[in-house]
């Protein structure tokens, strides 16, 4: 794609901004900044990947994955206002997911141990875990507010932290997995996933593209479930004081 | 139970402003006792009960049960001995039976089915099907079930935060009788927050009036 052809895609941005202006949504500035950021970030990573693929050095791969985990954790941790230590818990969870996925995929020989496979798949795994961690954190905060009566009732009956939070955490895990499960149900019928579409556009055999997409979908479903379950084990201390009282979290 | 120099400050605004609700609140409860706590709204009656159950931070002072401070106690055991029943009964998602079995489930104890049936009967809930969803019960039924759930703990002190406020006269009397019977037979100490002087006279020979952060104790001949 030439740069001139690429520049024509700005038409879509202008349409979005026009709709915002016309309907007085006051989103023009946010849309412009987000689009510029997306373009700059993608172009930058394009050049970085080009260099990393050429040099094929493990240090670069580790550094890129490290940055991805840090940015993803920082972004998801923004949902945990007032929850001191939420960043490290999310970072530990996402890093564990990434390590597990890569060990599994590389160990079973499902992907080749080259930057071309490791970096994009890591990006997808980390991005997916970030979305689930953000949803889980938001949901936990809502549950803590809406189920306060239930939690305090259990505490008043002598429940432990785990027993008092069990119902609320279970509901938060369930909520955070809804997009993953819905996406598994409708994939191929409603949406053709990005990776598969990209491979087909780039000339790959559609059946081969589908195989990779299935691999991604299943690994994402597993990482989503493990992300929210791991967080549900790491969060109770953020939600309850040492003397078993519900913490008062600031409103979003 | 001994309450010694209890102090509580509460937030008055989001900017971190604080107001002293109590300061130096002291009282000795000679068990088994039945005490009615009265006072105008906003004097901290519910907060005091929640503090005694360790559901609210105690900013200063101490509460001792059988000579042991709450600070030296296991909080879970403390709450089993000093059980709080809220004004708005909260049912756990599930059936009536599931709610009744909560205490035994939480503490890995045997479910006292006979006692549960007896208490349900005494509360006027004798015919209640165990398979019924607890969230579908009326406000009064929920309140009585919550009370039975707490009584199954066999607490030493029961903190009752306007527990009959949502009940009609007849059911209110059922509950009062049931609690007083537990007080007489099991020696359960009852601390009732109430806005009704008649009820206070019926259920408690000792009255605490909370005003200006102080307790005034008065004895009433029954």
**Cross-chain residue pair A163–B106, CB shorter than 8 Å:** yes
Hey, is the C-beta of A251 within 8 angstroms of any chain B C-beta?
Answer: no
pLDDT at residue B222 is higher than 60: no
Q: Are residues A108 and A196 in the same domain?
A: yes
B221 pLDDT band (50/70/90 cuts)? very low
CA dihedral in degrees (A107, A113, A117, A122; nearest 10)?
Answer: 60
pLDDT band for B124, please (50, 70, 90 cuts): confident
A141 and A48 in a common domain: no
Of A152, A154, A157, the CB nearest to B153: A157
What interface predicted TM-score (ipTM) does this complex get? 0.91
- The domain boundary, picked from A55, A72, A89, lies at A55
Q: Which of B46, B79, B90, B149 to mutate to test the interface with A (most CBs of A within 10 A)?
A: B90
Instruction: Give the residue on B whose Cα is nearest the Cα of A153.
Output: B90
Pairing of strands B214-219, B157-161: unpaired
- Calculate what percentage of chain B has a pLDDT beyond 70: 98
* Number of domains, chain B: 1
Q: Is the pLDDT of residue B220 over 70?
A: no
Same domain, A68 and A143: yes
* Strands in A53-204 per DSSP E: none
Of the two residues A192 and B116, the one the predictor is more confident about is: B116
Mean pLDDT of B109-116: 93
Q: Are A37 and A3 in a shared domain?
A: yes
Residues A161 and A225 in one domain: yes
Q: Is the pLDDT assigned to residue B80 strictly greater than 70?
A: yes
Q: What is the overall mean pLDDT for chain B?
A: 90
**B114 occurs within a structural domain:** no
Min Cα separation A229/chain B (Å): 21
Nearest C-alpha in A relative to B55: A245
Q: CA of A157 to nearest chain B CA: how many angstroms apart?
A: 6
Per residue in A67-82, pLDDT (tens digit) is 999 999 999 999 999 8
pLDDT at residue B126 in the model: 87
Asked if B150 contacts B186 with a C-beta cutoff of 8 angstroms, the reply is: no
Q: Which residues of B touch A159 (CB under 8 A)?
A: 76, 106
* Residue B73 included in any domain: yes
Lowest mean pLDDT among A124-138, A177-191, B95-109, B124-138: A177-191
Q: Which domain holds residue A31?
A: 1-55
Residue B68: give the domain boundaries.
2-90+154-219
CA B111/CA B106 separation, integer angstroms: 11
Residue A228 lies in a domain: yes
Instruction: Name the token pair of A135.
Output: 């949803």
Check whether residue A132 and residue A149 sit in a common domain.
yes
- Structurally, chain A folds into a number of domains equal to 2
**Chain B interface test: which of A81, A157, A165, A170 (most B C-beta within 10 Å):** A157
Torsion, Cα of A11, A17, A18, A19 (10° steps)? 120
- Kindly give the confidence (pLDDT) of every residue in chain A, 252 residues in length, as a single tens digit, with 9 standing for 90 and above: 787 888 888 899 999 999 999 999 999 999 999 999 998 988 898 898 899 888 888 899 999 999 999 999 999 999 999 898 999 999 999 999 999 999 999 998 888 889 988 998 899 899 999 999 999 999 999 999 999 999 999 999 999 999 999 999 999 999 999 998 988 888 877 777 777 888 888 888 988 888 888 888 888 889 999 999 999 999 999 999 989 999 988 876
Question: Which pair of tokens denotes residue B187?
Answer: 């020696």
Same-domain check for residues A31 and A71 = no
Half-sphere exposure in the Cβ direction for B220 (13 Å, CA): 20
Q: B161 forms bridges with which residues in the sheet?
A: B193
Chain A interface mutation, best of B102, B109, B139, B155, highest count of A Cβ atoms under 10 Å: B102
Is A131 in the same domain as A193?
yes
Residue A31 lies in a domain: yes
């Amino acid at each position: 794609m030439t740069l001139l052809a690429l520049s024509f895609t700005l038409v879509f941005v202008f349409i979005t901004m026009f709709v915002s202006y016309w309907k007085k949504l006051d989103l023009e500035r946010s849309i412009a900044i987000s689009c510029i950021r997306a373009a700059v970030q993608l172009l930058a990573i394009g050049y970085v990947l080009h260099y990393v693929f050429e040099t094929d050095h493990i240090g670069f791969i580790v550094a890129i994955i490290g940055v991805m985990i840090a940015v993803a954790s920082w972004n998801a941790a923004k949902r945990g206002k007032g929850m001191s230590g939420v960043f490290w818990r999310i970072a530990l969870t996402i890093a564990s997911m990434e390590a597990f996925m890569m060990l599994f995929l590389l160990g079973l020989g499902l992907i080749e141990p080259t930057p071309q496979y490791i970096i994009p798949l890591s990006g997808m795994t980390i991005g997916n875990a970030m979305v689930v961690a953000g949803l889980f954190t938001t949901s936990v905060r809502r549950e803590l507010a809406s189920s306060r009566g239930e939690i305090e009732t259990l505490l008043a009956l002598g429940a432990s932290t785990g027993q008092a939070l069990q119902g609320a955490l279970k509901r938060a895990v369930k909520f955070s997995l809804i997009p993953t499960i819905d996406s598994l149900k409708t994939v191929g019928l409603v949406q053709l996933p990005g990776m598969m579409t990209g491979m087909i556009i780039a000339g790959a055999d559609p059946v081969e593209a589908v195989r990779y997409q299935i691999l991604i979908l299943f690994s994402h479903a597993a990482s989503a479930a493990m992300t929210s379950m791991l967080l549900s084990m790491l969060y109770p201390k953020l939600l309850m004081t040492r003397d078993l009282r519900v913490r008062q979290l600031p409103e979003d | 139970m001994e309450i010694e120099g209890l102090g509580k400050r509460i937030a008055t605004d989001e900017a971190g402003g604080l107001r002293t609700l109590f300061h130096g609140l002291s009282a000795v409860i000679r068990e088994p006792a039945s005490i009615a706590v009265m006072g105008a709204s906003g004097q901290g009656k519910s907060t005091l009960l929640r503090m005694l159950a360790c559901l609210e931070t105690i900013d200063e002072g101490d509460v001792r049960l059988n000579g042991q401070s709450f600070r030296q106690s296991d909080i879970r055991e403390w709450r089993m001995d000093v059980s709080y029943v809220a004004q708005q009964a909260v049912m756990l998602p599930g059936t009536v039976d599931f709610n009744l079995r909560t205490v035994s489930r939480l503490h890995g104890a045997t479910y006292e089915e006979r006692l549960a049936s007896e208490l349900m009967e005494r509360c006027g809930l004798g015919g209640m099907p165990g398979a019924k969803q607890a969230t579908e019960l009326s406000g009064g039924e929920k309140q009585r079930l919550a009370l039975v759930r707490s009584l199954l703990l066999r607490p030493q002190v029961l903190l009752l935060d306007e527990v009959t406020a949502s009940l009609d006269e007849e059911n209110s009397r059922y509950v009062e009788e049931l609690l007083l019977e537990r007080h007489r037979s099991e020696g359960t100490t009852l601390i009732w927050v109430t806005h009704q002087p008649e009820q206070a006279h019926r259920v408690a020979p000792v009255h605490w009036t909370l005003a200006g952060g102080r307790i005034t104790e008065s004895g009433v001949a029954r």
